[in-house]
Structure 1
Amino acid sequence: MPKMPRLLRKVAVPLVSLTVFLEDILIILGGQWVWLHVLSPGQRLQKLLDGSKRAFIALLATILELVAPSQVRITADSASVPPGTFKVDPRTHSVSSLLLPRSIAISNHQIYTDWVFLWWLAYTGDLGGRVYIMLKKSLEKVPLLGFGMQNYRFIFMSRKWQHDQETLVHRLGELDASPLPYNLILFPEGTNFTANTRGKSQVFGAKVGKAPLDHALLPHTTGLRQCILSLRPSLDVLYDVTMGYSGVAANEYAESAYGLKDIFLEGKYPRLVDIHVRAFKVQDIPVDDEQQFDLWLDRVWREKDALLAGYYREGSFFTDATSQHSVVGAFSVSRWERGLVLLVPAITGLLGLWFLFTILRWFLAFF
């Protein structure tokens, strides 16, 4: 008997999550397909596609909120991020923010859902529909999702710089020329922090003469430098984000503790997600000199590594109220968006029950 609830969870949670995801994603992608075929390129089409992008992060956040109801603690460096940038509604515990409208967000990469939290962070600043993410080119071909991500104008990288540079210059040129806000998300490490990737990073560091890091991978500079150069005319700020997850020790890897299987099948998830934010003015980043930029990014990542060492030691990024400010809220979206996400699966579920009861009544009446 004690195994039954766990067994039921292993079956019910993935089934319900997958049902909600598939039903909603088909509606989102169906809407995109119709708009692309009946509307000419322009502001109206862009507004609808941005709305579908916001709907997608609302969908992902709602599923995670139901399956893994984490709290989020956002800690910000007061010298670069003004106090009051992040607020929590005392009634709903929802987070809102005043992020600058044209930004790049860089982060360490620990688990596969890091990008969901970064996208949600943009959502709190009303930028959920204006997020752009740099991804591996292979993801462009994923069934259903690949179509949607292409419509979202995500940037797919082949990791062959001769081709990627052309792609970046073209796509970022479009963003820079647009009057609309944007939040570009990328992971300079290129992949998750695991035992395997840490070993490869150490080999890379020995090759280029850089000491290894303890809690992160050595960052790659080329793609980020091109992003800043291409967006510099319109770019307001670069946000440096550091992610930390409760329940992970300094000698462990978050991906081993909170993989997708652990979250959806085992019910293992971080009860508290820590997000540390600091900001860099574009004019303070030595982007014109490749060597100086490499030194700057290396210094940023070593400071991030020290920040993570303190996190694993103290259990928080918040250490000094005079130089930092912090808020704690729920990882959630607005109630009406959550309701819309669950509305379609609820209706189809009720229709399914009605159909089953109708068949059962017919069967009983017949016999």
Structure 2
Amino acid sequence: MGFGAGAHRYILQLTHAYRSGCLGSTLAVMKKSSKFLPVIGWSMWFSEYLFLERNWAKDESTIKSGLLRLKDYPQPFWLALFVEGTRFTQAKLLAAQEYATASGLPVPRNVLIPRTKGFVSAVSHMRSFVPAVYDVTVAIPKTQPPPTMLRLFKGQPSAVHVHIKRHLMKELPETDDAAAQWCRDVFVAKDALLDKHKVDDTFGEGEFQDTGRPIKSLLVVISWACLLISGALKFLQWSSLLSSWKGISFTAIGLAIVTVLMHTLIKFSQSERSTPAKVAPAKPKNGGESSEPGRHKHH
């Protein structure tokens, strides 16, 4: 189980899972409207992601039943929890800072204040069969453009830095209140880590891995691409679809639908909600980190 913060997180989640060899068993907790997104949302639906309405009275039973169902999952899985409950924006950061000031909490500079109910519920119901929680922090290097759907469709690469810290589930607090405080403390540490990345453009010294691209997955993609292209050409040849105005009109409508779907995805990825905030970093603080940090670089 893991949780993290940052823009474009869905693309990064799938990329990291793909390069770690567990894309087929990666799940996430998402807002309900996400499943209606063209292609990507449908794949979430078919992959049995957990969809929430952001209303705890309605979502509590959904989370409980969904998490308990994972106990009998046929293979090791990753479950991504986006504990902030929403995507990062400048406006939401300002609101979080105002709330923290009024409530006497540490004022965030790079992250939102976590909503801990879902996290506490996940820890409570999955403690017996999930061995660890992975704290994932993502940052975009200063010289790199952020990964977007548009860049993805254009075949343009992006590089991101991913910091991963493993916490054994048995080491997490037993009570709900203590688990919630543990989550908040992790986000305070995450905030300081992002401060450091702003200054140094790196997460610091330590284990660093440049993750490559699995050959097996590449072969699968190439095989399916060849099969689909060959099938499409055979279908056009058999149906003589482009030999009549009716066929041409049908093809044009199909292309228009595909264009609209792709445009919807691009707009979704470029919305203001995914715009990273520009906040001055705080002064570095002394103090160490907990054990087993890992750093990855994706291209």
TM-score by length of 1: 0.58
Equivalent in 168, 171, 188 of residue 284 of structure 1: 171
User: Once the two structures are superposed, what CA deviation does each residue of 1:237-269 show, in whole Å capped at 9, x if it has no partner?
Assistant: 0011111112369xxxx8xx554456657x876
2:143 matches 1:238: no
Distance 1:264 1:123, change over 3 A: closer
Equivalent in 170, 174, 188 of residue 69 of structure 2: 174
What SS does structure 2 have at the residue aligned with 1:227? helix
2:230 matches 1:343: no
The aligned amino acid for 1:335 is: L
1:216–1:305 Cα contact (<8 Å) kept: yes
Unaligned runs of 5+ in 2: 244-299
* Count of residue pairs the alignment pairs up: 241
Output the CA distance in 2 between the equivalents of 1:236 and 1:189.
23
1:109–1:189 Cα contact (<8 Å) kept: no
Percent sequence identity over matched residues?
Answer: 22
Distance 1:215 1:143, change over 3 A: closer
1:176–1:230 Cα contact (<8 Å) kept: no
The aligned amino acid for 2:76 is: P
What SS does structure 2 have at the residue aligned with 1:296? helix
Match of 1:158 in 2: 53
Match of 1:219 in 2: 114
Match of 1:133 in 2: 28
The aligned amino acid for 1:163 is: K
1:131–1:182 Cα contact (<8 Å) kept: yes
Write the mapping of 1:242-261 to structure 2, written as runs, cut at 5 A: 242-247=137-142, 258-261=147-150
User: Once the two structures are superposed, what CA deviation does each residue of 1:299-342 show, in whole Å capped at 9, x if it has no partner?
Assistant: 2111111111111222222x22xxx2111134566221221342
Match of 1:33 in 2: none
Output the CA distance in 1 between the equivalents of 2:43 and 2:153.
23
Distance 1:178 1:349, change over 3 A: closer
Match of 1:110 in 2: 7
User: Once the two structures are superposed, what CA deviation does each residue of 1:90-110 show, in whole Å capped at 9, x if it has no partner?
Assistant: xxxxxxxxxxxxxx0111122
Aligned-pair distance for 1:280?
0.4
Output the CA distance in 1 between the equivalents of 2:187 and 2:104.
15
Equivalent in 326, 332, 338 of residue 208 of structure 2: 326
Write the mapping of 1:1-367 to structure 2, written as runs, cut at 5 A: 104-111=1-8, 114-142=9-37, 147-178=42-73, 180-247=75-142, 258-261=147-150, 264=153, 270=158, 272-290=159-177, 292-317=178-203, 319-320=204-205, 324-330=206-212, 334-347=217-230, 350-351=233-234
What SS does structure 2 have at the residue aligned with 1:106? strand
Output the CA distance in 2 between the equivalents of 1:127 and 1:264.
23
What SS does structure 2 have at the residue aligned with 1:184? strand
Aligned-pair distance for 1:285?
1.3
Unaligned runs of 5+ in 1: 1-103, 360-367
The aligned amino acid for 1:294 is: A
2:135–2:166 Cα contact (<8 Å) kept: yes
Aligned-pair distance for 1:121?
2.4
Q: CA RMSD in A?
A: 3.0
The aligned amino acid for 1:326 is: F
Distance 1:170 1:338, change over 3 A: same
Distance 1:131 1:342, change over 3 A: same
